[in-house]
Amino acid sequence: MSDPIVKVYPADLGGCGFYRTIWPGQHLERQGASVRVVMPTEPDDAQIQAMWYAADTDDRRLVDVVHPEADVVVFQRPLTDTLAGAVKILQGKGVRVVVEIDDDFEAISPRNVSWRSVDPKAHPRRNRDHLRRACEDADLVVCSTPALAERYARHGRVRIVRNRVPQWYLHVERDDHDGVFVGWSGSLETHPDDLQVTGGGVARAVTMTGATFAVIGTGVGVQRALGLASPPPACGWVPIGKYPYALAQLDIGIVPLALTPFNQAKSALKMMEMAALGVVPIVSPTDENVRMCKLGVGMTAGKASAWSGLIKGLVNDPALRAGFAERSREAMRHHTIEGHADEWFDAWTAPVNTPTKG
């Protein structure tokens, strides 16, 4: 019996789209698996095609969906009424539906710019309610953490597939530079309350050691949030293909996260990226970050004194810094997409070999 045909529909061309669907799917394609990644940039006739009935009012009803010529479809983060409504229609045509999710959209802070973008009142046709409905109806939910499984798959039809990094990250090298660079990758628009958990510890360590703090991103608001003495240099946003090279220029990376339900549901991907690129990660003790630290990747900091002490120790001792970087990078050799692609394939094809949901 041949493998089922799987079509994967990434939600975007950002980090989430690449890490969770595009890179695993493309690797499986190259290995000869019957997987087809349908990029968001492909023509409309390659995407899920839906037929709607629109009444005279604002109400509309999904009538039908064109068969995708696949045994399984994987919808990443299906927030739209089209994709949520397509789940049952596709199942009626014998197509199994897998929903892939990597963030807790129910727990986003109203201070996060993403909150309004999935608010049902602001966006009736694209919001978190449609995502929840899709998860409830799906044959299987695939997510990156146990907390997400608890949120979106209490029905029990779930697989946890951890986030991984591309193998080529392990071979990216930083450019030679003077001094020590401590840095962060992100935006206060989506991390409005996270940098503040360092309690000024990062700023004190940078001042006392003479290290340079830098940002992969715009850097807007970072000086104030961390309490830095001056605005940090920032490289701006870079394409996903160039992002690892920008991140690799740091010597020490920080991943501060407020211990909120949203952040507790996040994977440890940021620290994994850093470690794979030879950057020493110092992270907040979320459940997933602690799990990776126990596997030999990075170190945690809770109080301001811990952030300050760890950074000062690493900046002032090049041998210590190099040792931590080498050990963390070596540990990451066991957490690559290529080494775990079979987990994605097994999860995506699992519904074909299990009874139809009741």
What are the residue boundaries of the structural domains of the chain, listed by start? 6-164+338-353, 167-334
- The predicted structure's pLDDT at residue 53: 72
How far apart (Å, rounded) are the C-alpha atoms in residues 126 and 84? 10
- Whole-structure pTM value: 0.94
- The predicted structure's pLDDT at residue 61: 81
Instruction: Give long-range contacts, CB 8 A cutoff, 24+ apart: 150-155.
Output: 151/104, 151/106, 151/107, 151/265, 152/99, 152/101, 155/357
Assigned CATH topology for domain 6-164+338-353: Rossmann fold (3.40.50)
- The predicted structure's pLDDT at residue 77: 97
pLDDT tens, residue by residue, 261-292: 999 999 999 999 999 999 999 999 999 999 99
In CATH, which of 1.20.272.10, 3.40.50.150, 3.40.190.10, 3.40.50.2000 is domain 167-334? 3.40.50.2000
Cβ proximity of 262 and 192 under 8 Å: no
How far apart (Å, rounded) are the C-alpha atoms in residues 98 and 7? 10
Same fold, 6-164+338-353 and 167-334: yes
- The predicted structure's pLDDT at residue 3: 85
Q: Which residues of the chain, if any, have pLDDT below 50? A: 358
How far apart (Å, rounded) are the C-alpha atoms in residues 148 and 163? 13
Nearest to 315 by CA among 222, 214, 215, 205: 205
